[in-house]
Chain A
């Protein structure tokens, strides 16, 4: 009647049910958090040049360079259902060709247990800041914002924008040579 297999099966099924219920509870308790934290972004030394983009279509596109500072403390975002934060700095701007452009300049992975304080000063972009065309020259409304993707232990994967942004004005002359 109650063989070892029926017992093992019952224990296994019950374990699975409990794990599923706990996972769902973890999701429910954290799904409605706003996950926001304030950030301070600064920048300097904005420059543009017009060079062929060999990683894409080889046409002459605007390539920008700038130095930026980021100060943010993401400890309020971490709760019991956060495995990792993926922080990324986005340059958002519009050009006559594309009303919306988003280019990720920098990113950082913060795992649970890592220091939640990010203090980056006068850093260079981690990825090339190429425009799709020639829309960066003289563009005086390039907004830098910091966003993060919250990776839970299990549950919803929200994208959040930190409160605080910074506007970069690019000069109206191309530079030649190196940045």
Chain B
């Protein structure tokens, strides 16, 4: 393998990775949520959302929170965000609101989960509101968390998946842009 070919491979890999990163960051801009995609890790919303289901979140600040919405919120001092449903909203004249959540599968509201002294959630606690849902897809991340050794085969798998996707995209895009570049990504 000559140097030129080696550099080409490295660049190709870097491009694949940065494409994924760009898509994720692009989603963050479009949805205005710092976590546009979230995996359900709790049983609180069964039977609507199970462990390992994937949620697509948006977080438009001008769009007010209303009852019935499934929201993802991050509490002070807690690492993992919670998924729950809004059951009470009180909105002041100036537009600020406070709200209370409860998981469909729980008998009581989430006040017990909030930090001591916090009775209500406010807009700043919200990471995103669930707009879309795909089952099972997040299972991979749960498996990776539970069995860390799976990370290495998964990384290899991810690499091949990215390569495959990039091949499709590249051929799709190059179909429309007649570039004078050799983009052979086989």
Q: Is B69 an interface residue when CB atoms closer than 8 A count as contact?
A: yes
B117-138 with Cβ < 8 A to chain A: 119, 130-135
Complex contacts, A49 vs chain B, CB 8 Å? none
Contact of B68 among A57, A86, A100, A155 (CB under 8 A): A86
Q: Is B77 an interface residue when CB atoms closer than 8 A count as contact?
A: no
Contact of B90 among A13, A104, A132, A159 (CB under 8 A): A132
Complex contacts, A153 vs chain B, CB 8 Å? 135
Q: How many A-B residue pairs have CB under 8 A?
A: 86
Q: Is B61 an interface residue when CB atoms closer than 8 A count as contact?
A: no
Which range holds the interface residue count of chain B?
20 to 34
* B119 A57 Cβ-Cβ under 8 A: yes
Q: Is B92 an interface residue when CB atoms closer than 8 A count as contact?
A: yes
Complex contacts, A23 vs chain B, CB 8 Å? 134
Complex contacts, A109 vs chain B, CB 8 Å? 47-48, 104
* A102 B88 Cβ-Cβ under 8 A: yes
17 A/B residue pairs, CB under 8 Å, sorted by A: A13-B164, A56-B111, A56-B119, A88-B87, A90-B67, A97-B92, A99-B92, A101-B89, A102-B66, A107-B87, A107-B104, A149-B48, A149-B68, A149-B69, A154-B134, A155-B134, A156-B133
* The 8 nearest A-B residue pairs measured at CB: A100-B91, A104-B87, A132-B90, A102-B67, A102-B89, A151-B48, A98-B90, A154-B134
